[in-house]
Amino acid sequence: MLTVGDVVISGSGFLLLFLSDLFQAYRRPHSARLVSIFGYGGVGAALFFLVVAFRPAAIGEAGAIAEIGAAALFSLLLLYSVLVEIPFALRRLRPKGGPERRVFAGGTYSVVRHPGFIWFLGLAASLMIIYRDSAVTIASVAMILMNLTLVTCEDRWLFPRIFHDWEAYQRTVPFLIPRLRCGGRSSKGS
């Protein structure tokens, strides 16, 4: 029954991340920070339990190295985008006590508005390939759908209340699928 527990733990984590966003929207930064720690912890714990509770499938040494490497890369990118890039950007974008929060549109956030979702999707897909177990697949797909629900709510309702320049950011940076660029210009000719 680990799959049910994993879904409940990750679901609680995503719900806490949503609550953290609500606290930010209503200008409660200390509450938001505390709740987000527990939210990220819940999602991280669910992923950890998946990794330690199941045995990887026999996919050959080269396949295992490639998939474990991909999972590690996606994990590092996820941690960087969410836990490193944003906190450092916040220090530069709004001086302490500043009235308005601006969007960080650099780094991975210049490619898509929710790069963490892309990295999470890659990590979950890697785990499904590594483990090839229906329970891991069910839990991973459930987590992907919960994460997609969270980023959709953030993008449409929460972030426009948190960031004063969110609409301009939405017009210039795609939601989840990066635009192909040729020679520094958009492939659409703009």
> Which tokens in the block code for residue 15?
């719900």
**What does the pLDDT read at residue 189?**
41
Mean pLDDT by 10 residues, the chain (190 residues): 81 97 92 95 94 78 82 96 84 60 89 96 94 92 97 96 93 89 47
C-alpha to C-alpha distance for 82 and 163, rounded to whole angstroms:
17
Determine the residue type at 114. Answer: H
pLDDT of residue 54: 82
Whose CA is closest to 19, among 36, 6, 5, 41? 36
Instruction: Please tell me whether residue 49 adopts helix, strand or coil conformation.
Output: helix
pLDDT at site 96: 56
What per-residue confidence (pLDDT) applies to 185? 46
The predicted structure's pLDDT at residue 57: 76
pLDDT value at residue 186: 44
pLDDT value at position 15? 97
Query: What's this model's pTM, rounded to 2 decimal places?
Result: 0.86
The residues near 13 (Cβ < 8 Å, ≥ 6 apart) are: 38, 39, 40, 41, 42, 43, 44, 45, 46
What is the signed CA dihedral for 136, 142, 144, 145, rounded to 10 degrees? 160
